[in-house]
Amino acid sequence: MEHLNEKQRLEEWKKIQTALVNEQIDQFRAEFLEMHPYDQAKIFEEQDEEIRFLIYTYLSPEEMAEVMENVDFELVSTFITEMVPAYAAKVLEDMSTDDAVDILNELDKNKVASFLTIMEKEEAEEIKELLHYEEKTAGSIMTTEFVVIQETMTVKEAMRHLRKEAPEAETIYYLYVIDVDKKLVGVISLRDLIIAEGDFLILDVMSERVVSVPVGEDQEDIARMMRDYDFLALPVVDFQNHLLGIITVDDIMDVMEEEANDDYSKLAGISELEKEGETAFSSAKKRLPWLVILLFLGMFTASIIGRFEETLDKVALLAVFIPLIAGMAGNTGTQALAVAVRNISTGDSGKRSNFSIIKQEAKTGLITGTICGILITLIIAFWYEDIYLGILVGLSIMATLIVATTAGAFVPLIMHRLKIDPAVASGPFITTLNDIISILIYFGLATAFMNFLI
């Protein structure tokens, strides 16, 4: 199955749609099921409700489960709730347990209860167990569909057990080894199991240096760990080291996308990322909280300028450079903020002390501030033929860039230390904060330079 581009997907869909409309079930299934599940999902997402209901009719729950696992997560809950409940419950049953749990977490509690009631008892119990774990922890993203072997098995017995359990497992690249108390004691790769002698005990060929994570571990920390160690899967244990489940690399890719979207929305000053097709009201609802806060901060900035009214009355030309200085402060602060948040999110900040990071940003601010300050001094001295005004604006730019760059790094690092998401130190917030700082610096220096300016 090859991956299709947009043009190829459109051509394939025309054939499929013809078969659907003409109720040619066998032709539809032959064309549709030959495609890669990702392409199936992309085509499915673009259909209206009437066509989707036809597809539900022509595909088995097991086939639809594979489609749902590739559909954009933001749309899955809509599709699941529009299905006939018995069909939807069967689709959820046939999906990977962790994927089914993610979907159910997005639904109303009454709908969740209804689906669980219809499901097979064993599958429902497994899902209920995972639903109890706190969101964004190892427990909430792990799967219980994996192969586990006993340390007392021989290699031949383990291979026989693997053949039996593999069809239901999400991955078999790693086999986790437990003792009689179901505690995690080792791991063996599929490769090592295949090349080992059949009569060897698993205890003798397994690796005891197994890396695991506690069930309450934050998903962002797990993502970093899997990135650093290049794991395809990671076992999840309780406080007594009992093996509870595994986290696979595809789950972590979803986590990384989710965390990146979350940080991006906060950096933009939005409570959560807006989705395509949202109403103007829902978009406004997400943007308003930050905008209201920034509105009051903006009023505070205006009141500061008002306090220097006498300075402005004496030298009206000072007002011309307010946007320049405030804009430069906002720009350099946002640059430093982006670097700091990225370092925190990737774990790079843990390799250096906060002081060294802030010190480096302060040095960067000093270099950029000095260069920009000298440039603007020369430009104003030439343009306005006033060396003192040039020096004033140049010094203001230099001081502002040093302080703004330092603040841009300092604020998120302090928030991280206080266990607050550093991304909430968003671009708009840092920009407004640096506006206040830059205005105070500019007018403070202007007042000191007043005799020269007049």
Question: What tokens were used for 260?
Answer: 């990146």
Q: Are residues 314 and 211 in the same domain?
A: no
Other beta carbons within 10 angstroms of residue 382's beta carbon come to: 11
Give the C-alpha separation, 404 to 340, whole Å. 13
Name which residue leads in pLDDT, 263 or 121.
121
Which residue is associated with the tokens 């085509």?
43
What pLDDT digit, counting tens, does each position of 288-343 carry? 666 677 677 777 777 777 777 777 666 677 778 888 888 888 888 878 877 777 77
**pLDDT band with cut points at 50, 70 and 90 for residue 205:** very high
What pLDDT digit, counting tens, does each position of 431-448 carry? 777 888 888 888 888 888
Q: Are residues 121 and 161 in the same domain?
A: no
In a domain, 323, yes or no: yes
Q: For 84, phi and psi rounded to 5 degrees?
A: -60, 130
Q: Are residues 327 and 420 in the same domain?
A: yes
> What is the average pLDDT score of the chain?
82
In a domain, 396, yes or no: yes
Q: Are residues 436 and 353 in the same domain?
A: yes
CATH code for position 12: 1.25.60.10
In a domain, 267, yes or no: no
What SS3 class is residue 138?
helix
> pLDDT value at position 122?
86
Helices 25-33, 49-58: inter-axial angle, 10-degree rounding: 90
What pTM was computed for the model? 0.59
Half-sphere exposure of 326 (CA within 13 A, CB side): 19
In a domain, 117, yes or no: yes
Give the C-alpha separation, 391 to 442, whole Å. 11
Asked whether the predicted pLDDT for residue 282 surpasses 80, the reply is no
Q: Are residues 253 and 203 in the same domain?
A: yes
What pLDDT digit, counting tens, does each position of 211-250 carry? 999 999 988 888 888 888 888 889 999 989 999 999 988 8
Other beta carbons within 10 angstroms of residue 243's beta carbon come to: 21
Other beta carbons within 10 angstroms of residue 239's beta carbon come to: 8
Which of 192, 227, 258 delimits the end of a domain?
A: 258
CATH code for position 163: 3.10.580.10
Q: Are residues 25 and 118 in the same domain?
A: yes
What pLDDT digit, counting tens, does each position of 50-91 carry? 888 989 999 999 999 999 988 988 888 889 999 999 999 999
Question: What tokens were used for 340?
Answer: 């700091």
Q: Are residues 20 and 49 in the same domain?
A: yes
Question: What tokens were used for 112?
Answer: 């969740």
Name which residue leads in pLDDT, 346 or 365.
365
In a domain, 142, yes or no: no
Question: What value does the mean pLDDT take over residues 365-373?
Answer: 91
Q: Are residues 291 and 435 in the same domain?
A: yes
- Structural domain harbouring 238: 148-258
DSSP structure class, residue 154: B
Question: What tokens were used for 77?
Answer: 């809950």
Which of 226, 258, 290 delimits the end of a domain?
A: 258
Helices 97-104, 73-82: inter-axial angle, 10-degree rounding: 80
Give the C-alpha separation, 306 to 450, whole Å. 17
Name which residue leads in pLDDT, 326 or 13.
326
Name which residue leads in pLDDT, 16 or 260.
16
> pLDDT value at position 283?
63
Q: Are residues 27 and 165 in the same domain?
A: no
State the chain's maximal CA–CA distance in angstroms: 97
Q: What is the CA radius of gyration of the chain?
A: 30
What's the order of all strands across the beta sheet hosting 148-150? 148-150, 174-178, 184-189
Please state the domain count of the chain. Answer: 3
Give the C-alpha separation, 409 to 349, whole Å. 11
Q: What is the dihedral of CA 430, 432, 437, 441, to 10 degrees?
A: 130
The answer for residues whose C-beta is within 8 angstroms of residue 449's C-beta and 6 or more apart is 388, 391, 392
Q: Are residues 286 and 414 in the same domain?
A: yes
Which of 115, 136, 157 delimits the end of a domain?
A: 136
Strongest mean pLDDT among 111-125, 269-283, 433-447: 111-125
What pLDDT digit, counting tens, does each position of 387-418 carry? 888 888 899 999 989 988 888 888 778 777 77
> pLDDT value at position 358?
82
In a domain, 269, yes or no: no
Going by C-alpha positions, the residue among 128, 120, 71, 61 that lies closest to residue 95 is 61
Q: Are residues 306 and 420 in the same domain?
A: yes
What are 439's strand-pairing partners? none
CA distances from 271 to 193, 264, 267, 323 (A): 49, 10, 10, 28
Per DSSP, helices labelled H in 22-141 are: 25-33, 37-45, 49-58, 61-68, 73-82, 85-94, 97-104, 109-118, 121-131, 138-141
Q: Are residues 189 and 101 in the same domain?
A: no
Question: What value does the mean pLDDT take over residues 26-49?
Answer: 86
CA distances from 361 to 255, 326, 400, 411 (A): 30, 19, 13, 12
Going by C-alpha positions, the residue among 194, 290, 175 that lies closest to residue 243 is 175
Q: What percent of the chain has pLDDT over 70?
A: 84
Q: What is the dihedral of CA 69, 72, 75, 79, to 10 degrees?
A: -30
In a domain, 265, yes or no: no
Going by C-alpha positions, the residue among 124, 136, 135, 132 that lies closest to residue 100 is 124
> pLDDT value at position 264?
52
Question: What value does the mean pLDDT take over residues 167-191?
Answer: 90
In a domain, 268, yes or no: no
Which residue is associated with the tokens 């959820």?
92
> pLDDT value at position 265?
55
CATH code for position 364: 1.10.357.20
> pLDDT value at position 129?
85
> pLDDT value at position 306?
73
Strand-strand pairing, 174-178 and 184-189? antiparallel
